Amino acid sequence: MTKLLRIALIADVFPPLRSSGAVQLRDLSLEFIRQGYKVTVMIPSYDIDEAWSLEDMEGVEVLRLKALRTRDIGYIRRTINEFLMPFAMLHNLRKSPLSNMSWDGIVWYSPTIFLGPIANSLKKTNGCRSYLIVRDIFPDWAVDMGLLSRGLPYRFLKVIERYQYSIADVIGVQTPANLPYFDSWARAPERRVEVLQNWLAEAPDIGCSISVADSPLAGRTIFVYAGNMGVAQGMGILIDLAERLHDRQDIGFIFVGRGSDFHVLCDDAKVRELDNVIFYDEIASSEIPGLYAQCHVGIVALDPRHRTHNIPGKFLSYLQGGLPVLASINSGNDLADIIDREAVGRACLDHSVETLRRLAIECVDETTIDSNMSARCLSLSAKLFTPKSVVKQIIAAFK
């Protein structure tokens, strides 16, 4: 097969959204360009006036297609709108200047699970292969979390999920523990499932609007959490941890982001009168390196009810910032093996605040005495989690 000329990358998140998925897809699309491929990113947008909007982002074609709103709305309305989303995207794609464009490979990103129809249409029209990047196992994780029962809505979502998988020639999951989930799918001819590590491009430190030195936590060893604060993260234990470490005047906690639990956690900290905790609203992704440069340990949190496995984007960003990691995660998660094997922090698997407290103190002590800790974090980031290797792996799958 000759070198692919043009890739269609389909997703429902992309800058200016600040989510980890949006940042990842920006980095991936730019790396395709750096390696000599032409890329068109197709994303739904509810806030454009016309059927489509086409822009250039450092050589990447970004085609925004009019669709219904799917964020910051109720679950039922969101599900209906996500179901309709790929059909609206297809309809408006046909009105755009790219309606007759040919692509040599189709890549799409999940979540969401609803992009199958547009991926399938482009695949059939162009007679090309397709690669599905799966970053979580939905709807099963929602059942694990108690957000969804195994009733009719679950069965409907499972139909959508299976349809999405049926379109893919190759599926890339983010940890080895996810591979068995696709065993039966991979038995069909010409199908393959493989581990596709998460990725994050290097980002310069351009400073940050948050100044720890000017905050009440100045001079302390700072634990930082930056990202979504929702049900899936199970972050209540982190407020418990801050309370248990309240007597340690050398330790502070900074939480930056948004999400359904943001105000709940903030109010809880105020009720407990925790002066070792500060909450900040979400900041631009470009400011994250500047924030981490002022901190000492990054925090990863996943609700212990999770049965599926993932490597959160924030874990990668901490490593890239040279920060060791304190993780409170579900038992058996592959992330714990990485942290322990590479000696880049501590992982708590029993959801015990006392265990987490002990591990947090170990992290503080280790950052003081282990001068190689930051270098190990940076080395692991460069070795495993770069978009350069991800693009090469995806292109190899098309061959």
Q: Is 145 exposed, middle or buried (0-12, 13-18, 19+ CB in 10 A)?
A: middle
Question: What is the mean predicted confidence (pLDDT) over 298-311?
Answer: 79
The set of residues, in sequence order, having a beta carbon less than 8 Å from that of 265 and lying 6+ positions away, is 229, 235, 236, 238, 239, 255, 279
For the cut 90, the answer to whether the pLDDT of residue 312 exceeds it is no
Residue type for position 397 = A
Residue type for position 395 = I
Residue 259's pLDDT is 85
For the cut 90, the answer to whether the pLDDT of residue 293 exceeds it is yes
Q: Mind listing the pLDDT tens digit for each residue in 348-389?
A: 998 899 999 999 999 999 988 998 999 999 999 988 888 999
Residue 285's pLDDT is 84
Question: What is the mean predicted confidence (pLDDT) over 55-66?
Answer: 97
Residue 306's pLDDT is 65
For the cut 60, the answer to whether the pLDDT of residue 276 exceeds it is yes
- 5 vs 192, which has greater pLDDT? 192
Residue 67's pLDDT is 96
Q: Which of 214, 365, 199, 201 is closest to 296 using CA atoms?
A: 365
Question: What is the mean predicted confidence (pLDDT) over 6-26?
Answer: 91
Q: Which of 160, 122, 119 is closest to 142 using CA atoms?
A: 160
Residue 371's pLDDT is 87
Measured distance CA(75)–CA(108) in Å, rounded: 23
Q: Mind listing the pLDDT tens digit for each residue in 135-160?
A: 888 888 788 877 788 999 999 999 99
Q: The tokens of 114 are what?
A: 């609803």
Decide the pairing of beta strands 297-301 and 221-228.
Answer: parallel
pLDDT band at 202 (very low <50, low <70, confident <90, very high): confident
Measured distance CA(54)–CA(3) in Å, rounded: 25
pLDDT band at 294 (very low <50, low <70, confident <90, very high): very high
> Angle at which helices 313-320 and 20-34 pack, to 10 degrees?
70
Element (H, E) at 380: helix 373-384
Element (H, E) at 218: none
Measured distance CA(61)–CA(24) in Å, rounded: 16
Q: Mind listing the pLDDT tens digit for each residue in 68-85?
A: 999 888 888 999 999 999
Measured distance CA(171)–CA(190) in Å, rounded: 12
Residue 1's pLDDT is 45
Q: Which percentage of the chain shows pLDDT scores above 90?
A: 73
Q: Mind listing the pLDDT tens digit for each residue in 26-59?
A: 999 999 999 999 999 999 999 999 999 999 999 9
For the chain, domains (ranges, CATH) are 6-196 (3.40.50.2000), 212-383 (3.40.50.2000)
Residue 146's pLDDT is 79
Question: What is the mean predicted confidence (pLDDT) over 171-194?
Answer: 92
Residue 261's pLDDT is 87
Contact 240, 348 (CB under 8 A): no
Residue 277's pLDDT is 97
Q: DSSP label at 12?
A: S
For the cut 60, the answer to whether the pLDDT of residue 2 exceeds it is no
DSSP, residue by residue, 296-327: SEEEEE--TT--S----HHHHHHHHTT--EEE
pLDDT band at 309 (very low <50, low <70, confident <90, very high): low
For the cut 60, the answer to whether the pLDDT of residue 191 exceeds it is yes
- Mean pLDDT of all residues belonging to the chain: 92
Residue type for position 26 = R
Q: Mind listing the pLDDT tens digit for each residue in 211-256?
A: 999 999 999 999 999 988 887 677 889 999 999 999 999 999 999 9
Q: Which percentage of the chain shows pLDDT scores above 70?
A: 98
